[in-house]
C-alpha cells in the first residue's frame, strides 16, 4: 500500500491541464521502458475534463497511440453509443481524435451486447479479457496497469464502488456487476478494489466544492466500506489530484491553507 500524496491546483481547469501533462509523461516513460503503456480511464466530470485537456495539449503527439492499452474502471450498463456511457464520453473527449489501435481499446460491454442485460455476465467477460492481457508476473488476474484513474464522487464512490454496497466488499473477483447504485443508472460494471490495487499508480481526481467533504473523509482514515475512495491505492504510488475547492475541507495536517 502506498501512502497518498496530494497535489492541489488552483482550479479545475488547471488541474485537468496539469493532470493531462502528467499522464502524457507517464505514458511516454512507460512506452520508453517497456514498449507499451496501459491506462485505466474513469468516467465522470473530472475524468472527461482530463481527457479533453489531453486532446488540446500539443504534447499529446509525444504518445505512441498505437502502443497504448486503454481499459475502464467502470461503466454505466447502457446500450452501445448511449451518451451516458463512460466510453461514449471518452470517445467524444479524446479517443476519436487520436490514432489508437482499436484492438487495444478495451471498452466494457454494453447492455445490448453479447451478454444482453446481464451485468454479471458482462463483468465476468471483462474479467476474462483482463486475465488474457495479464502477464505471468501478474498471476493471471489483471495486468499491472501503469496508471489507473478514478473520479471521486461526492459520496466517496470510486469507479462504481458505492459506500456499503456489495461491490466494495468484493475480495475475490476483479470485476463485478453492480445493482442498485444510488447514482443513475442503477446497473453498472466495475473493477473491484483488488483490481484497482494492482495498478502501479492510482490517481484520484477531485475538483469542485461538492467533492470537498468526500476528499476530507477519505483522507482522514475512513474505512473503505463506508468510503470506497479510502481503499483505492496503487502498488507504487497513490496520488490525489485536487483543486483548491475540493481541498478546502482537508485537515490542516494534510494540506495547510495558503499563507495570507
Ligand X SMILES: O=C1O[C@H](COP(=O)(O)O)[C@@H](O)[C@H](O)[C@H]1O
Asked whether position 76 contacts ligand X by CB under 6 A, the answer is yes
What's the rounded Cα separation, in Å, for the pair 242 and 218? Answer: 13
The crossing angle, in degrees rounded to 10, of helices 86-93 and 44-56 is 20
Of positions 12, 40, 53, 86, contacts ligand X by CB under 6 A: 86
Q: Which three cell numbers stand for residue 103?
A: 484492438
Number of H helices, E strands in the chain: 7, 9
Beta bridge partners of residue 237, listed in sequence order = 201
Among candidate residues 138, 143, 39, 141, the one with its CA nearest the CA of residue 94: 39
Asked whether position 183 contacts ligand X by CB under 6 A, the answer is yes
Of positions 4, 9, 40, 43, contacts ligand X by CB under 6 A: 43
Asked whether position 163 contacts ligand X by CB under 6 A, the answer is no
* Residue of closest CB approach to ligand X: 44
Q: Coil, helix or strand for 220?
A: coil
CB of 149 to ligand X, least distance (A): 9
> Based on CB atoms, which residue is closest to ligand X, 47 or 163?
47
Do you find a cis peptide bond into 194, omega within 30 degrees of 0?
A: no
> Based on CB atoms, which residue is closest to ligand X, 62 or 127?
127
Of positions 17, 37, 38, 46, contacts ligand X by CB under 6 A: 46
CB 204 within 8 A of CB 241: yes
> Based on CB atoms, which residue is closest to ligand X, 138 or 208?
208
Of positions 16, 23, 38, 44, contacts ligand X by CB under 6 A: 44
CB of 153 to ligand X, least distance (A): 4
What's the rounded Cα separation, in Å, for the pair 20 and 96? Answer: 17
What's the rounded Cα separation, in Å, for the pair 52 and 230? Answer: 27
The helix (H) or strand (E) run that includes residue 204 is: strand 201-206
Q: Which three cell numbers stand for residue 201?
A: 499508480
Q: For ligand X, which stretch binds (CB under 6 A), given 43-51, 129-137, 213-221, 232-240? A: 43-51
> Based on CB atoms, which residue is closest to ligand X, 47 or 234?
47
Of positions 111, 160, 187, 192, contacts ligand X by CB under 6 A: 160
Asked whether position 156 contacts ligand X by CB under 6 A, the answer is no
> Based on CB atoms, which residue is closest to ligand X, 173 or 183?
183
Interface residues with ligand X (CB under 6 A)? 42-47, 74, 76, 86, 150-151, 153, 159-160, 183
Amino acid at each position: 500500500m502506498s501512502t497518498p500524496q496530494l497535489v492541489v491546483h488552483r482550479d479545475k481547469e488547471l488541474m485537468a491541464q496539469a493532470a493531462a501533462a502528467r499522464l502524457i509523461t507517464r505514458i511516454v516513460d512507460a512506452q520508453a521502458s517497456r514498449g507499451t503503456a496501459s491506462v485505466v480511464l474513469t468516467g465522470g466530470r473530472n475524468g472527461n475534463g482530463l481527457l479533453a485537456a489531453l486532446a488540446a495539449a500539443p504534447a499529446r503527439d509525444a504518445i505512441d497511440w498505437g502502443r497504448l492499452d486503454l481499459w475502464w474502471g467502470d461503466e454505466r450498463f447502457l446500450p452501445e453509443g448511449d451518451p451516458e456511457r463512460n466510453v461514449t464520453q471518452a470517445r467524444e473527449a479524446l479517443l476519436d481524435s487520436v490514432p489508437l489501435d482499436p484492438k487495444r481499446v478495451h471498452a466494457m460491454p454494453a447492455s445490448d451486447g453479447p451478454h444482453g442485460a446481464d451485468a454479471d455476465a458482462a463483468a465476468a467477460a471483462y474479467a476474462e479479457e483482463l486475465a488474457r492481457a495479464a502477464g505471468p508476473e501478474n498471476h493471471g488476474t489483471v495486468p499491472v496497469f501503469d496508471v489507473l484513474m478514478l473520479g471521486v464522487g461526492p459520496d466517496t464512490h470510486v469507479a462504481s464502488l458505492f459506500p456499503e454496497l456489495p461491490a466494495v466488499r468484493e475480495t475475490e473477483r476483479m470485476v463485478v456487476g453492480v445493482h442498485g447504485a444510488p447514482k443513475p443508472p442503477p446497473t453498472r460494471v466495475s473493477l473491484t478494489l483488488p483490481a484497482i490495487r494492482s495498478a502501479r499508480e492510482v490517481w484520484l481526481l477531485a475538483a469542485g466544492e461538492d467533492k470537498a467533504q468526500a476528499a476530507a473523509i477519505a483522507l482522514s482514515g475512513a474505512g473503505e466500506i463506508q468510503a470506497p475512495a479510502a481503499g483505492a491505492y496503487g502498488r507504487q504510488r497513490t496520488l490525489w489530484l485536487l483543486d483548491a475547492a475540493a481541498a478546502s475541507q482537508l485537515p490542516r495536517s494534510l494540506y495547510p491553507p495558503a499563507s495570507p
